Amino acid sequence: MSEEKKKDKDGVAGIPAADAPGADDGTPAPAAEMPEDPGAVRIAALEKELAEQRDKLLRSLADMDNFRKRTYKELQNARDMARIDAILPFLKVYDHFQLAVKAADEKHSFEVLHQGMDMILSEFSRALDEIGVERIDALGKSFDPALHEAAEQRSSDEVPEGQILEQWRCGYKMGEKVIQPVLVVVSSGPGEEKRAEKTDGESSAEEIGGDGK
C-alpha cells in the first residue's frame, strides 16, 4: 500500500481518523447564544418598577387610613375631655341643689329654702367662672346689636332713645364670643304727647326770641 493511501486510512500525521477535526462522532455541536431582546428587557424593568410603585401606594393608603382613624380617635377623646371639664363644675351645683331640696323638705321653712337658693346661685356663678363664661348685663346701657337682642321697643320719658329700658334675660360670652345675647327692651324716647309738648315749647321759645329782636 502506498504512503498516501495509508495516511488517508490512519488519519493525518498519525492522528486517528475518528479524532480528527470535523469527524462525525454523533455529538451535536454547541448552539450559538442568541442576543437578548432590548424590548423584553425594558418591559421586565417596567413591570418591576410598576410592582414597586404599587407596593408603595398600598403602603401609603394603609398609613393614611391609620392616620385618619388615629386622628378621629384623638378628636373624640378631646371632645370627651372638653365635655367632662365643662360639666364638672355644674355637678357641684347639682349636689348643692339636692341638699337645698332635702333641707327644705325636712324643715318646711321659707328661710331655709331662700338660703338654699342663694347657695345654688353662688355655685352657678362659680361654675361659670371656672369654664370662662362671663355674664353680660345691659340695663341702662346703649343698645349694641353685637351684644343685645331687642325683644321690644317702648317709649319712655326718662330713658333716652336707643338706651336699654328693661332687661328680660341676661347674656353670656366666652372671651370675645357671645354665647347668648342679652334680651332687652329698647327705649324709643318720649311718647307722642311729650314730643308734641317739646315741639310746642321750642316754638314758643323761638317766638319769644324773635319778638325780642
The pLDDT assigned to 38 comes to 79
Question: What are the two backbone dihedrals, phi and then psi, of residue 204, each rounded to the nearest 5 degrees?
Answer: -65, -40
Band the pLDDT of 183: cuts 50, 70, 90.
Answer: very high
Question: Mean pLDDT across the stretch 153-157?
Answer: 90
Q: Which of 96, 111, 131 is the last residue of a domain?
A: 131
Burial class (CB in 10 A: 0-12, 13-18, 19+), 188: middle
- Residue 201 above 80 pLDDT? no
Q: Which of 131, 146, 168 is the last residue of a domain?
A: 131
- Do 70 and 124 have their domain in common? yes
Q: The domain that contains 162 carries what CATH number? A: 2.30.22.10
DSSP 8-state secondary structure symbol assigned to residue 17: G
- Do 112 and 152 have their domain in common? no
* pTM to 2 decimal places: 0.52
**Domain containing residue 204:** 134-213
The pLDDT assigned to 193 comes to 63
The pLDDT assigned to 98 comes to 87
The pLDDT assigned to 56 comes to 92
Question: Mean pLDDT across the stretch 146-151?
Answer: 94
Write out pLDDT tens, residues 40-85: 888 888 888 899 999 999 999 999 999 999 999 999 999 999 888 8
The pLDDT assigned to 116 comes to 81
Instruction: Give every CB contact of residue 172 below 8 A, 6+ residues apart in sequence.
Output: 128, 133, 134, 135, 136, 178, 179, 180
Q: Report the mean per-residue pLDDT for the chain.
A: 79
Q: The domain that contains 59 carries what CATH number? A: 3.90.20.20
Question: Mean pLDDT across the stretch 107-130?
Answer: 84
- Do 143 and 213 have their domain in common? yes
The pLDDT assigned to 180 comes to 94
